[in-house]
Amino acid sequence: MVRATRCFNKLPCCGSKGLTVKGFLFDLDGTLVDTAIDMLHALKLLAQENNIEIEPNHAQYKELITHGSRAIVESIFGKTDQQTFLKLQKRYLEIYQDILTQGSCLFDGVEGFIQALDKQKIPWGIVTNKPHYLAKPLVKSLKPLENYGILVGGDSTKFSKPHPQPINTAIQMLKINPKKSWYIGDALSDITAGNAANMQTAVALWGYIGANDSPEKWQATKTIQQPLELFKL
């Protein structure tokens, strides 16, 4: 177990003609960074504001993170009318924004791999469904990630993953050849988007994968048990 230390049709991507550089793109939550502590603490605080006492179990709730704030909020409040849900979601994100750097940290092995990419001048970036206004300060708080080439948030493009548009945007900005590059993520939406963008894809099995998920069926190029295995790529 990795410990944390402080379907769309294939759309043409940017076109690989003239692009020879290899690179790496990563999902954020559950791939590079363990954000579960802060995200679940924000849920606990939201519940308390509504006179609900919970103690979110890390192992039980972390798989919700892959599915975003809707799944997190509904895990406590269930299905509500749209107005009520939007109010709860807005408040949850406000709480989370205030604490998002308190306990989040890189997974073991990530720092060494990122340092190796930087040393070899291999371009890399982050493509996440986390809103950019939350992703940017989180990444900024983690010094080993300071040399990222591009950060694409869930609200940075018209579509978010599993649509390939965010990854295609990163490919264009980094000027990398998708067929020679890797997208690493811990969710089906990551692999679907990466495949649709004509990248090689790898499942981060240390991430927020649910008990009912079947990553071996996601049609990824590889599955990886721990970040140290990234060096094999």
Angle at which helix 165-174 crosses helix 188-196, to 10 degrees, equals 60
Do residues 194 and 183 make contact, with C-beta atoms less than 8 angstroms apart? yes
Predicted pLDDT of residue 149: 97
Nearby residues of 184 by Cβ (< 8 Å), 6 or more positions away: 24, 25, 26, 27, 31, 190, 201, 202, 204, 224, 230
Q: Which residue has the higher pLDDT, 36 or 6?
A: 36
Predicted pLDDT of residue 15: 42
Mean pLDDT of 25-29: 98
Mean pLDDT of 103-118: 97
Q: Is 98 noted as a catalytic residue in this protein?
A: no
Predicted pLDDT of residue 60: 75
Predicted pLDDT of residue 20: 54
User: What's the pLDDT band for 66 if we cut at 50, 70, 90?
Assistant: confident
For residues 107 and 142, give the distance between their C-alpha atoms in angstroms, rounded to a whole number. Answer: 12
Does the structure show a pLDDT above 90 at 19? no
Does the structure show a pLDDT above 90 at 35? yes
User: What's the pLDDT band for 54 if we cut at 50, 70, 90?
Assistant: confident
Mean pLDDT of 210-230: 95
Predicted pLDDT of residue 40: 92
Length of the chain counted residue by residue: 233
pTM over 0.85: yes
Q: Could you say which of 27, 29, 34, 38 is catalytic? A: 27
The lowest-confidence range among 18-27, 94-103, 107-116, 175-184 is 18-27
